[in-house]
Amino acid sequence: MKIVRLLGGYLAAVAVVTTIVMGGQAQATEKKPEVKTEQKKAPSKTEVKKTSSKEAAYSYVAQPGDAYAQLVRKAVQTYGIQNKKEIGQARILAIETIASEKAGWPLLNEGQIVSFKQSQIKAWVDEAMKLPAEDVAAWQTYVPYVNFDTRNIGE
């Protein structure tokens, strides 16, 4: 593993080889998360909305200083709250890091709308819940360096 300093000012572990990726199983065929780049002014509140295919999505409007990983974090936390899932901070950190890496660590523009399909968040959470205890312990190392308060992220 190597440590990368992210835009949000926190540390996160990045799997150099996909051995840690969700319990050691690489998912090369998985699609990258959809990152919408609309610049129109959107509501300031976090939305869980239905997309044209009738699937719920978590949509956020990037604010100055927001990082893609923080929006993933917020979406995962929101999903956990709404679905009464105890995900845990180490698993959330694993999810946001791996999802951001797969998306190519996108830089966000102020006002950019970023959406995550609920099915994608569910898949990430389901995989993270299968992480072995030693992987969770490894991710736990970085938890003290991360601000999990996402109330003002993507608002």
Better-scored residue on pLDDT, 59 or 8 = 59
Predicted confidence at residue 8, as pLDDT, reads 37
Q: How confident is the model at residue 14 (pLDDT cuts 50, 70, 90)?
A: very low
Q: What is the mean pLDDT of residues 85-102?
A: 97
Q: How confident is the model at residue 10 (pLDDT cuts 50, 70, 90)?
A: very low
Better-scored residue on pLDDT, 155 or 142 = 142
Is the predicted pLDDT of residue 155 greater than 60, yes or no? yes
Q: Is the pTM of this model over 0.85?
A: no
Predicted confidence at residue 81, as pLDDT, reads 96
How many alpha carbons fall within 13 Å on the CB side of residue 144? 3
Neighbours of 23 (CB within 10 A): 14
Q: What separation in angstroms does the CA of 88 have from each of 125, 147, 152?
A: 10, 14, 20
| pLDDT tens-digit readout, 40-93 | 444 444 555 544 557 889 999 999 999 999 999 999 999 999 999 999 999 999
Q: What is the mean pLDDT of residues 116-120?
A: 96
Q: What separation in angstroms does the CA of 127 have from each of 22, 66, 112, 124?
A: 6, 25, 28, 5
> How far is the C-alpha of 60 from the C-alpha of 44, rounded, in Å?
8
Mean pLDDT of the chain: 77
Q: What is the mean pLDDT of residues 139-154?
A: 95
Predicted confidence at residue 1, as pLDDT, reads 35
